[in-house]
Structure formats: C-alpha cells, structure tokens
Homo-oligomer: A and B are copies of this chain.
Amino acid sequence: MPQHNVPLTVHGMSLSGNCYKVKLLLEQLGSPYRWIEVDSVHGQTRTPEYLALNPNGKVPMVERDDGRVLVESNAILFWLAEGTPYLPADGWQRAQALSWMFFEQYSHEPYVAVARFIRTWTAPDSPRRGQLPELLQRGEAALAVMEQHLAAHAWFTGPHYGIADIALFAYTHCAGDGGFELARWPAIQAWLARVEAMPGFVPMAAAPAPCA
C-alpha cells in the first residue's frame, strides 16, 4: 500500500491556493482524507496549539494517523505523488518538475498570490495596496516565463500532467483576483483549460469579492 494511503488529515484554508494544491491532488488520487479548516487570515495558524505542530505557522499541513506532520505545499505534493503518474520516475524529469515548483514558490506565488491576498483581504485604504504595482510587474514576469514554456510544452511536470502543473495552476487560475489580465496569455489560458479537463479535477473555493 502506498504510504500516502494511511488516513491523512489536512489542515488547510479552503480559499488558499497553497492548500487547494493538496486537495486537488488528493481528489485526483482518490485518497481518503479529513480536512480541518484553519483560518490563517485571522490568526488560526498562530495559536500555541498550531505552532506546536508547525513552528513556521503556515498552512497547509498534513498530519498522519501517528501524529507526524509535513508542511510546505509543494513538499506535500511530492510526497503524495511519489510512485503515481503525477510525478515522473526519471530523475532528470523529476528535477525539472521540482525546478518549476521552486519557481512557483520563489518567482510566482510571492507576487501573483500576494496581489490576490491584498486585493481580496485588505481594506481599500490599506497601505499594503501601494505594493500592488510592483507585485503586478513581477507577477507578469513570472507569467511570461510560463507562457514561453507553454509555447513548446503541454505541461510543466514533464510529458504528462502532474504536480508541477498543480502547483502552478493553484494561483495562476485565480490571478485575475489579483488584478492580472489572463487574456494576455493565450498559452496559459489553453493550459488552464487542459488542467480543468483532467480526470478528478475539482475547482478551488471561490474567494470573496475583492475589497476594491
């Protein structure tokens, strides 16, 4: 039995793309799991109980039946996908998938996801809104890198759909929430549609209407 078929608890916020990654893969794998909703926007990852499990105070976190935990969305994806069609077996191709997942966390999420966070969860007069022009510029640079890859490749994980696609889909498909114009990126739009057509696909919970 693959190790990820032990009963698993996911601590996550449904509106978070990082948490949605884990949900999407578990649904596509058909793996049983229990979801515990954690409102990270309102401090529920900063309680003593939560920090005892994850000192970095972030979601998602998966918890095994013996109490061991794993944090960082893309590390969770890698663990869950090991030995499944969602992660290539070839070492070079696995590294390329990981490369896109590090790109996602370093060059994409801090701009595309943070712009969405600011527009959705901060007040219209929040000083954080002053960051939006730079976030949009850097996020567009990440989308341009994705567009260029997709001009020549169907997927980010390798020859087939997999965890690097899930990692990048999570915040790309809702980039409009952050003020990005996805219509500018035809190859990304076609790829988003391919992801949404995959067996077992489930959509992310919709964010509340942007605050501005």
Contact = CB atoms under 8 A, between A and B. Distances in A.
A72 B97 CA distance: 11
Most buried by B among A3, A95, A105: A95
Interface string A83-111: 10000000110111011011101110110
Interface residues of A, number: 35
B3 A91 contact: yes
Interface string A48-77: 000000011010000000001011111110
**What 10 A-B pairs have minimum CB-CB distances, sorted nearest first?**
A79-B95, A75-B99, A72-B102, A75-B98, A72-B99, A55-B145, A105-B106, A82-B91, A55-B148, A75-B95
A83 B91 CA distance: 10
A194 interface: no
A98 B145 CA distance: 24
A128 interface: no
Interface of A: 3, 55-56, 58, 68, 70-76, 78-79, 82-83, 91-92, 94-96, 98-99, 101-103, 105-107, 109-110, 144-145, 148-149
Chain A binding surface SS class: helix
A149 to B, nearest CB: 7
Tallying the copies of this chain within the complex gives 2
11 contacts: A56-B103, A70-B92, A70-B96, A72-B99, A72-B102, A76-B95, A78-B98, A79-B94, A82-B91, A101-B102, A110-B110
Contacts of A101: 75, 102
Contacts of A76: 95, 99
A126 to B, nearest CB: 16
Contacts of A71: 99, 103
